[in-house]
A = this chain, B = another copy of it.
Amino acid sequence: MGAPRWLDEREDRAWRGYRRMRRLLDLELARQLTQDAGLSEADYDVLSDLSETPQGRLRLRELADRMLWSRSRLSHHLTRMQQRGLVTREECADDARGSVVVLTPAGRQAIGSAAPGHVAAVRRHLIDLLTPAEIEALGALTHRVVDHLGGRAPHPRHDPEA
């Protein structure tokens, strides 16, 4: 590679802003969730994805893929959530290797009461600060990047080699 093309002033501003926003937003949303609902962001995401399915049940593998988590991470995390009574595991009917993650009533309750406050915080600290055009632009740009990156294997897998 020749001389590296550094970021110009505008690019640098966008990149730094992005990273700083990321961090601050994370801290604030995590703080809000813990305080108001006793959930971590990870907990919230698991419950949220589960509750978006009609039955509140998903194969572990399916859930991991949707969340872009490793199966290992999800397995560990579910063990902890299970101990708190938010989810349970069931054996999978059509695949004896698999297990199904199931939302418990307590889990439904938890996500139900956490969601309004969380969404309000997302609005207060992000969405409501943006113009409609910016929201549109953010949607477009992030999805473009996701499509660009998403083509690759969903997980840290060794690429097929060049």
Contact = CB atoms under 8 A, between A and B. Distances in A.
Interface string A129-157: 11011111111111111101110100010
Contacts of A31: 156
Nearest to A141: B134
Q: How large is the interface on A (under 10, 10 to 19, 20 to 34, 35 or more residues)?
A: 35 or more
Given A68-B24, A137-B137, A139-B14, A6 B119 contact: yes
Interface stretch (A15-23, A80-88, A90-98, A102-110): A15-23
B138 A18 contact: yes
A42 interface: no
A77 interface: no
B68 A127 contact: no
Interface of A: 1, 4-7, 10-11, 13-15, 17-18, 20-25, 27-28, 31, 68, 115-117, 119-120, 122-123, 125-127, 129-130, 132-146, 148-150, 152, 156
Contact of A138 (B5, B17, B116): B17
